[in-house]
Amino acid sequence: MSMHPTLRFRIAEKQDCETILKFIKELARYEKLEDEVVATVEILEDWLFEKMSAEVMFAVIDGKEVGFALYFSNFSTFLGKAGLYIEDIYVREEFRGQGIGTAMMKYFAQMADECGFGRVEWACLDWNTDSIEFYESLGAVGMDGWTTFRLSGDAIKAFANR
């Protein structure tokens, strides 16, 4: 599978927050988690461009955003090095199978290599066998023996005030 001939990448800017939110909602629909999206354009502007907590990269074909990824740096105490965490990566359905996802993941692998990062990590829903097979085809391995834990919303407040 070869990369789409006009594919390029661009880093999102503040004026892209509406487009970012559209991708987030589209991804949530795909993951059957649409009810969990509470992000707004204003929240994204604050956290992505004022507080600079993460970055967004778009996959663009002929001037149209066809995919996006939100990512940030993390740190491995065991490696003693920074890493790259991909929070979300998504290609619109009508553009899948054209090498876009592979090119996006290669973009992140090259970034990690150039920066000397120790790893690139992301999570995938257990039911998403198409994505799991795709990631495995890149050489990625699932992290057996690890469970992701989360405190969010009211649970954060309850524990913080306990």
Domains recognised in the chain with CATH numbers: 7-160 (3.40.630.30)
Active site residue ranges: 135
Across the beta sheet with 7-11, the strand order is 7-11, 55-61, 64-76, 81-91, 120-122
This prediction has a pTM of 0.93
CA end-to-end span of the chain: 54
Q: Is 132 left (phi over 0), alpha (psi -120 to 50) or beta?
A: alpha
| Segment 22-65, tens digit of pLDDT | 999 999 999 999 999 999 999 999 999 999 999 999 999 999 99
Mean pLDDT rounded to a whole number for the chain: 96
Give mean pLDDT, residues 143-152: 93
